[in-house]
Homo-oligomer: A and B are copies of this chain.
């Protein structure tokens, strides 16, 4: 892992490289420098929760939703009562040949 990279020589410019946890008028802010990431890593059955919501689960739901939407775009969803009624009406007006 990169954590084990060689120590930064004293005096090198690192001022903007270091992540910070800061409070700003009572707001809690986590910030990183340019090209740096904020990462949430779960392991085993660990969770990240945001105000009682399971972040990992919800993020996976986004993809499920996306898949479902694509499926509906291609194959349609359920049949709306409006269409069902109209089809039934037409059905009664036609006869089987």
Chain A: interface residue count, which band? 35 or more
Structural contact, B79 and A77, CB atoms closer than 8 A: no
Chain A contact surface mostly? mixed
Structural contact, A31 and B56, CB atoms closer than 8 A: no
Q: Which residue of B lies closest to A12 (CB)?
A: B3
Q: A77: shortest Cβ distance to chain B, in Å?
A: 4
Structural contact, A19 and B8, CB atoms closer than 8 A: no
Given the complex, which residues of B lie within 8 Å of A66, measured CB to CB? 61, 64-65
Structural contact, B16 and A21, CB atoms closer than 8 A: no
A interface residues (Cβ-Cβ under 8 A, vs B):
1-5, 8, 10, 16-51, 53, 55-56, 58-59, 61-66, 68-69, 72-83, 86-87, 90-97
